[in-house]
A and B are shown apart, each in its own frame.
Chain A
């Protein structure tokens, strides 16, 4: 789990895809039809001539450029910043704080490491678990806890979930609140190469 804005990704990708489809179909039409190709060049030349007139009319005194070019450059800079924001919005949202509670006298915070060490210690003796990772991420009011396990090949997910349920309810009692919990049971290279437990 992280803070990726998935709706935004899909909307922007759809817009980009539609623009590409539009440009592609225009090129296909112009490539297959002489009239459309000539129409393209006619319209394009007219537009470019009009634009050049505009540029000449708004020349900056004593300089080569025009105010329109400056405005265009500004727009490009804004576009570049927005693209950087889009890239930066992927992922993120991780936090080291598991819980925070404050009243008038002060604030108590619990680190994710507390939950992490407790869960790792509890799973250390479990032969069905090869490795575990505990992370937390920010949600609307507080944090969510993600527990990832790497299961031994052939381990019953049901039994692993039963063990984790117990750990989570212990954590709930310890913290005094029920935070969102995500449990991921994964297979990985270690599951592939480690021996499977013959007696399960």
Chain B
């Protein structure tokens, strides 16, 4: 049971963003501001001139900003800051999924990138349809897998057989979140492949 919980935890961590990059950027920006405030404070306490703005001037500027600034500029700045805040809140709340899938396994947490799954089902499809690698493209999304076949002109492709082969391959992966495959065949045949 303990191992099961650990496997679930590892799978979740590997398929979701840690928001580390945004955290580092936000913390760095805040750190620069705080360090600047410390520097200005130290300069004014030791009786030196300010680097950009002395603390007293800064406090006064913030206190009268409501009327000292052009309303349109205040409005625009407010919209920009508010939108930035909304983006940060969204990053904090949204799951932030990564393009990876979990394969159920009793012993280990197995996490596979979507591109690997796409390449594998593309290989299955082209073997079933007897096409060349360039004639099959596959994309894998969070819940679906799309296969586009582009057979040579004048040759039919058995879509049912391809779908069945891909279904069988996908069910063999024991994906934690199953993928529904859709197979589409290009209307115009390829010439010269």
Pick from B7, B27, B59, B82 the residue with the most CB of A within 10 Å: B27
B120, A37: Cβ atoms under 8 Å? Answer: no
Q: Mark B87-110, 1 if CB is under 8 A from A, else 0.
A: 111111100000000010101111
Task: List A contacts of B68 (CB < 8 A).
Answer: 41
Q: Interface digits, B20-41 against A, CB 8 Å rule (1 contact, 0 not)?
A: 1011101110110011011001
Q: Could you say which residues of chain A place their CB within 8 Å of the CB of B84?
A: 20, 24
Task: Tell me if A108 is interfacial: C-beta within 8 Å of chain B.
Answer: no
Query: B residues 99-129 with Cβ under 8 Å of A?
Result: 103, 105, 107-113, 115-117, 119-120, 122-123, 127
- Chain A, residues 10-38, CB within 8 Å of chain B (1/0): the string is 11111011111111111111111010111
> Given contacts A184-B14, A186-B116, is CB(A24)–CB(B30) below 8 Å?
no
Q: When the two chains form the complex, which single residue of A19, A27, A184 contacts B111, counting CB atoms closer than 8 Å? A: A184
Q: How many residues of B contact A (CB 8 A)?
A: 81
Please choose the segment from B71-79, B144-152, B184-192 that sits at the chain A interface, where 4 or more of its residues have CB less than 8 A away: B71-79
User: A14: which of B3, B18, B89 is its contact (CB, 8 Å)?
Assistant: B89
Q: Which chain A residues lie closer than 8 Å to B161 at the CB level?
A: none
- Chain A residues positioned under 8 Å from B69 (CB to CB): 31
**B40-92 CB contacts (< 8 Å) to partner A:** 41-42, 44-45, 47, 55, 59-60, 62-69, 71-92
A168 at the B interface (CB under 8 A)? yes
> Interface with B: A74-82, A98-106, A110-118, A119-127, which one?
A74-82
Contact across chains for A165 and B119 when beta carbons are under 8 A apart: no
A43 to B93, CA, bound (A): 34
Cross-chain contact B89 with A44 (CB below 8 angstroms): no
Q: Is the interface of B mostly helix, strand, loop or mixed?
A: helix
B81 touches A27 (CB 8 A): yes
- A83 close to B30 (CB less than 8 A): yes
Give the shortest distance, in Å, between A155 (CB) and chain B (any CB): 7
Cross-chain contact A180 with B23 (CB below 8 angstroms): no
Q: Are A180 and B10 in contact (CB under 8 A)?
A: yes
Residue of A14, A80, A91, A191 touching B35 (CB-CB under 8 A): A80
The one of A16, A31, A181 in contact with B73, judged by C-beta atoms closer than 8 angstroms, is A31
Contact residues of B between 151 and 189, Cβ < 8 Å to A: 169, 172-173
Question: Which chain A residues lie closer than 8 Å to B112 at the CB level?
Answer: 157, 184-185
Is B74 within 8 A of A27, CB to CB?
A: yes
Chain B residues with Cβ under 8 A from A168's Cβ?
A: 107-108
Q: Does B130 contact A (CB under 8 A)?
A: no
A175 located at the interface, meaning its Cβ lies under 8 Å from any Cβ of chain B in the complex: no
CA distance A48 to B66 in the complex (A): 14
A: which residues have CB within 8 A of B? Answer: 1, 4, 6, 9-14, 16-32, 34, 36-41, 44-45, 47-48, 51, 63-65, 69-70, 72-73, 76-77, 79-80, 83-84, 86-87, 90-91, 139, 144, 151, 153-158, 161, 164-165, 168-169, 178, 180-187, 191, 196, 200
With A24-B83, A87-B23 already in contact, 12 other A-B pairs whose C-beta atoms are closer than 8 Å: A9-B20, A17-B86, A31-B72, A64-B44, A69-B55, A76-B41, A79-B34, A151-B119, A157-B110, A157-B117, A181-B109, A200-B127
